[in-house]
Amino acid sequence: MSTLVVCLHRGDPLPGADPPVVGRAAVESLVTAVGVDDPEDSRVNCLLEGLRVDSDIEDGTIAVVSGTGETVSADREVARQIEDLVAEYDPESAVVVVDSAEDERLVPIIESRVTVDAVDRVVVRQARDIESTYYLLKQFLADEQLRKTVLVPLGAALLAFPILLFFAQSPAAALGAIAATFGFYLLYKGLGVDSYIARLPGQIREAMYSGQVSLVTYVVAVGLALVGIFVGVLGVSSMQVEEIGAVILATRFAYDAIPWVTAAALAASTGRLLDELIGDDDIGSAYVNLPFVAVAVGLAVRGFSVYFLERSGVFGTVTIPATEMGPANFDAIPLTSAEHLAVLILASILISLVGVRVAAYVSGTGVDVSFEERSS
């Protein structure tokens, strides 16, 4: 059984040799010539590895195949040399020795002409990590999507740094602005906001053409949320900021904004529920329960904000006014902050339970109706 040991190379021409170079003595002379010409040439290690492999094979013939240049003509030159070797020595198999990933790409040329038993890639031990990093970086730069995602923001940050440094006159401020921008960008990509924004025009167009009620309610919800933010900012601005901590300010903002935000969530969820009612599909329990959940969460947040504001002295004690119901008279009932919180929490739990019950009833009705239709 004859085996052809092929040292494969494409690039600079071999010094003082016309490939293919065949035979152990000829290859040993070529090692000396290549090493003297350029001691740092990786081909020296490739040729020495080929000699080692040839010494391990009893019926082996070593040959050096090389193509000059980085074009298709170099690949054709390698193919021609392999065909000449196969025609002359008629090997039953081959072992290919390469010294780089670029040369390894030529292995299919040899495989198409003779059976390849193994591919031995030689990398200098000190340069293994460097070469691996090089090919990973080359593969990274070849990916257009990765270039746009990583290199473009990095380049923009490097360009923005001297500009920010010029206007801010402070390296800390410039670095802080760049770090904040990078953080926003990572959140933007990580949460898939770009994909959502890309799909948003199509969804809006589809909603307009299909006449969905939710499109209007979503617009109303955005308006109510903006009103809630505005009202919350007004409530915070009316307080003495110097004398009150940030926690109390945030609580006051939540207290003033949460009714409007709850109304926005209620409008959006109601519109989605109406779309499900108008459509032909069965109504899911989640759509029915969502408006109740929105109100329940709003009451709970309102209750906690009232508790903190009352405990901090921003608000006074809440009093249920006196009422007259026929012959019965009810006096005014003052509520402590804990009692006020308990009332709102109980109300939120009660509303959520009602939502679960209504959702279960509607879903059960839908199942019964569909069953009766199938039976009929």
What secondary structure, in 3-state letters, does the chain show? CCEEEEEEEEECCCCCCCCCEECHHHHHHHHHHHHHHCCCCCHHHHHHHHHHHHHHCCCEEEEEEEEECCCHHHHHHHHHHHHHHHHHHCCCEEEEEECCHHHHCCHHHHHCCCCEEEEEECCCHHHHHHHHHHHHHHHHHHCHHHHHHHHHHHHHHHHHHHHHHHHHCCHHHHHHHHHHHHHHHHHHHHCCHHHHHHHHHHHHHHHHHHCCHHHHHHHHHHHHHHHHHHHHHHHHHCCCHHHCCHHHHHHHHHHHHHHHHHHHHHHHHHHHHHHHHHCCCCCCHHHHHHHHHHHHHHHHHHHHHHHHHHHCCCCCCEEECCEEECCEEECCEEECHHHHHHHHHHHHHHHHHHHHHHHHHHHHHHHHHHHHHHHC
Query: In the predicted model, what is the mean pLDDT of the chain?
Result: 78
Q: What is the pLDDT of residues 2-29, one digit of tens each?
A: 888 988 888 778 887 788 889 889 989 9
Two tokens, residue 187: 């959140």
- 372 pLDDT more than 50: no
In 3D, which of 75, 84, 82 has the Cα closest to residue 103?
A: 75
Instruction: Evaluate whether 248 touches 309 at the Cβ level (below 8 Å).
Output: yes
- 371 pLDDT more than 50: no
Provide, rounded to the nearest whole percent, the portion of the chain with pLDDT above 90: 3
Residues contacting 16, CB < 8 A, separation 6+ = 30, 33
Q: What is the pLDDT of residues 203-245, one digit of tens each?
A: 666 655 555 667 788 888 889 899 989 988 888 887 765 556 7
Please indicate whether residue 77 or residue 194 has the higher confidence score (pLDDT): 77
| Band (155; pLDDT cuts 50, 70, 90) | confident
CB neighbourhood size of 164 (10 A):
19
Q: What is the dihedral of CA 195, 196, 198, 199, to 10 degrees?
A: 120
261-275 average pLDDT score: 85
Amino acid 226: pLDDT: 92
Please indicate whether residue 263 or residue 15 has the higher confidence score (pLDDT): 263
Q: What is the pLDDT of residues 39-89, one digit of tens each?
A: 877 788 888 988 998 888 888 889 998 888 777 888 888 899 999 998 888
Tell me if the pTM is above 0.85. no
- 330 pLDDT more than 60: no
- 373 pLDDT more than 50: no
| Band (318; pLDDT cuts 50, 70, 90) | low
Please indicate whether residue 262 or residue 162 has the higher confidence score (pLDDT): 262
Amino acid 102: pLDDT: 77
Please indicate whether residue 160 or residue 323 has the higher confidence score (pLDDT): 160
Kindly report which listed range (153-157, 168-172, 248-252, 283-287) carries the lowest average pLDDT score.
283-287
| Band (374; pLDDT cuts 50, 70, 90) | very low
Taking CA atoms, 329 is separated from 65, 267, 324, 326, in Å, by 109, 38, 5, 8
